[in-house]
Amino acid sequence: MDLTTASDAAATATSLTAGIDHAELENDGPKAFGDRIGTPAADEKVLWKGRPAMGLLARTAFHAHKAGAYMAALSVIALMTGNATAAVVVAGLGVVLVALLYVLAWANARSTLYILTDARLIMRIGVAIETRINIPLKQITAAHFRPRADGHGDIAVEVAGERLLSTLLLWPHVRPFHYKMPQPMLRAVPEAATLAQMIAEARAPFGAIARNLTEIKEAAPASAQHGSQGAVTPGRLAPVMHRSEQGFEGAPA
**Exposed, middle or buried: residue 161 (CB in 10 Å: 0-12, 13-18, 19+)?**
exposed
**Strands 211-215 and 140-147, sheet pairing:** parallel
CA distance 57 to 246: 30
pLDDT score of 229: 36
| 3-state helix/strand/coil string of the chain | CCCCCHHHHHHHHHHHHHCECHHHHHHCCCCCCCCCCCCCCCCCCEEEEECCCHHHHHHHCCCHHHHHHHHHHHHHHHHHCCCHHHHHHHHHHHHHHHHHHHHHHHHHHHCCEEEEECCEEEEEECCCCCEEEEEEHHHEEEEEEEECHHHCEEEEEEECCCCCCCHHHHCCCECCCCCCCCCEEEEEECCHHHHHHHHHHHHHHHCCCCEEEEECCCCCHHHHHHCCCCCCCCCCCCCCCCCCCCCCEEEEC
Q: What is the pLDDT of residue 177?
A: 85
Residues of the chain predicted below pLDDT 50: 1-17, 220-248, 251-253
Q: Computed from CA positions of residues 220, 222, 228, 230, in that sequence, does the dihedral angle turn out positive or negative?
A: positive
Task: Write down the pLDDT at residue 35.
Answer: 66
**What global pTM score does this model have?**
0.74
pLDDT of residue 67: 95
CA 249, 250, 252, 253 dihedral sign is positive
* Residues 190-233: tens digit of each pLDDT: 988 888 888 888 888 887 666 655 565 555 444 434 333 333 33
Using N-to-C axis directions, what is the helix angle for 64-80 and 84-110, rounded to 10°? 180
Residue 235: its pLDDT value, please?
Answer: 35
97 vs 29: CA distance, rounded Å: 26
